[in-house]
Protein backbone atom coordinates (compact mmCIF):
# COMPACT_ATOMS: atom_id res chain seq x y z
CA UNK A 1 0.00 0.00 0.00
CA UNK A 2 1.15 3.50 -0.77
CA UNK A 3 -0.19 7.03 -0.68
CA UNK A 4 -0.45 8.73 -4.07
CA UNK A 5 -1.37 12.26 -5.11
CA UNK A 6 -3.71 12.30 -8.06
CA UNK A 7 -5.14 15.09 -10.16
CA UNK A 8 -8.74 14.15 -11.00
CA UNK A 9 -9.42 14.29 -14.74
CA UNK A 10 -12.53 12.10 -14.83
CA UNK A 11 -15.37 11.47 -12.40
CA UNK A 12 -18.22 9.87 -14.24
CA UNK A 13 -21.21 7.63 -13.62
CA UNK A 14 -20.73 3.94 -14.31
CA UNK A 15 -23.62 1.54 -13.71
CA UNK A 16 -25.14 3.81 -11.00
CA UNK A 17 -21.76 4.07 -9.32
CA UNK A 18 -18.63 6.16 -10.03
CA UNK A 19 -15.49 5.97 -12.15
CA UNK A 20 -12.60 8.23 -11.09
CA UNK A 21 -9.39 8.55 -13.09
CA UNK A 22 -6.55 10.98 -13.48
CA UNK A 23 -2.80 11.47 -13.50
CA UNK A 24 -0.63 10.35 -10.60
CA UNK A 25 1.58 13.25 -9.57
CA UNK A 26 4.02 10.65 -8.18
CA UNK A 27 4.47 8.46 -11.28
CA UNK A 28 3.05 10.92 -13.85
CA UNK A 29 1.00 8.05 -15.33
CA UNK A 30 -2.71 7.66 -16.03
CA UNK A 31 -4.48 5.87 -13.18
CA UNK A 32 -8.04 4.62 -12.77
CA UNK A 33 -9.20 3.93 -9.23
CA UNK A 34 -11.29 0.89 -8.37
CA UNK A 35 -12.97 -0.25 -5.20
CA UNK A 36 -13.51 -3.80 -4.03
CA UNK A 37 -17.25 -3.50 -3.33
CA UNK A 38 -18.40 -3.20 -6.96
CA UNK A 39 -16.25 -4.66 -9.77
CA UNK A 40 -14.61 -1.92 -11.84
CA UNK A 41 -16.38 0.90 -9.98
CA UNK A 42 -16.35 3.00 -6.86
CA UNK A 43 -19.29 3.76 -4.63
CA UNK A 44 -20.27 7.42 -4.29
CA UNK A 45 -19.11 7.27 -0.67
CA UNK A 46 -15.66 6.08 -1.78
CA UNK A 47 -15.29 9.16 -4.03
CA UNK A 48 -16.17 11.63 -1.27
CA UNK A 49 -13.85 13.40 1.11
CA UNK A 50 -14.46 13.13 4.87
CA UNK A 51 -16.52 16.38 4.72
CA UNK A 52 -18.95 14.74 2.27
CA UNK A 53 -17.87 16.68 -0.84
CA UNK A 54 -17.31 14.55 -3.91
CA UNK A 55 -13.99 14.60 -5.76
CA UNK A 56 -14.17 17.19 -8.54
CA UNK A 57 -12.34 17.61 -11.83
CA UNK A 58 -8.93 19.27 -11.24
CA UNK A 59 -8.88 18.37 -7.55
CA UNK A 60 -5.54 17.10 -6.33
CA UNK A 61 -6.19 14.51 -3.65
CA UNK A 62 -4.35 11.82 -1.75
CA UNK A 63 -5.56 8.24 -1.87
CA UNK A 64 -4.12 5.10 -0.40
CA UNK A 65 -3.51 2.64 -3.22
CA UNK A 66 -3.56 -1.10 -2.89
CA UNK A 67 -2.65 -3.64 -5.56
CA UNK A 68 -3.02 -3.21 -9.34
CA UNK A 69 -6.17 -4.78 -10.78
CA UNK A 70 -5.77 -3.94 -14.46
CA UNK A 71 -7.32 -5.87 -17.30
CA UNK A 72 -6.87 -5.89 -21.07
CA UNK A 73 -9.49 -3.12 -21.30
CA UNK A 74 -8.17 -1.08 -18.36
CA UNK A 75 -4.50 -1.85 -17.63
CA UNK A 76 -4.30 1.36 -15.55
CA UNK A 77 -6.76 0.14 -12.89
CA UNK A 78 -5.63 -0.05 -9.28
CA UNK A 79 -7.54 -0.85 -6.11
CA UNK A 80 -7.85 1.80 -3.42
CA UNK A 81 -8.12 1.00 0.25
CA UNK A 82 -11.15 2.01 2.30
CA UNK A 83 -9.19 4.90 3.83
CA UNK A 84 -10.94 8.22 2.96
CA UNK A 85 -9.37 10.40 0.28
CA UNK A 86 -7.80 13.67 1.42
CA UNK A 87 -8.18 16.87 -0.63
CA UNK A 88 -4.87 18.69 -1.15
CA UNK A 89 -5.50 21.58 -3.57
CA UNK A 90 -6.79 22.53 -7.01
CA UNK A 91 -4.65 21.84 -10.07
CA UNK A 92 -4.85 25.42 -11.34
CA UNK A 93 -1.74 27.12 -10.02
CA UNK A 94 0.83 28.77 -12.34
CA UNK A 95 3.33 25.96 -11.61
CA UNK A 96 0.82 23.44 -13.01
CA UNK A 97 1.12 24.90 -16.51
CA UNK A 98 4.51 23.24 -16.94
CA UNK A 99 3.35 19.78 -15.78
CA UNK A 100 3.97 17.06 -18.34
CA UNK A 101 2.78 13.47 -17.81
CA UNK A 102 4.87 10.52 -18.99
CA UNK A 103 3.87 8.88 -22.20
Beta strand pairing status for 30-34 and 2-14? unpaired
pLDDT for 103 equals 58
In a domain, 101, yes or no: no
98 lies in a domain? no
pLDDT in tens, 44-82: 999 999 999 999 999 999 999 999 998 888 899 999 999
103 assigned to some structural domain:
no
Q: What is the pTM of this model?
A: 0.90
Domain that holds residue 15: 2-93
d(CA 78, CA 13): 18
Q: Is 31 a member of any domain?
A: yes
CATH code for the domain in which residue 29 is found: 2.40.50
In a domain, residue 100? The reply is no
Find residue 79's DSSP bridge partners.
34
pLDDT averaged over the chain?
92
Alpha-carbon distance of 34 to 56, in angstroms, equals 17
Give the other-Cβ count within 10 Å of 89's Cβ. Answer: 13
Q: Provide the pLDDT for residue 10.
A: 95
Q: How many domains does the chain have?
A: 1
Whole-number Å distance between alpha carbons of 50 and 92: 23
Q: Model confidence over 4-51: pLDDT tens digits?
A: 999 999 999 878 899 999 999 999 999 999 999 988 899 999 999 999
In a domain, 10, yes or no: yes
Amino acid sequence: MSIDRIVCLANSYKHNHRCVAGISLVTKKWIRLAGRKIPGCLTVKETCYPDGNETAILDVFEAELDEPCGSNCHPEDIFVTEKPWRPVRRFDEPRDQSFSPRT
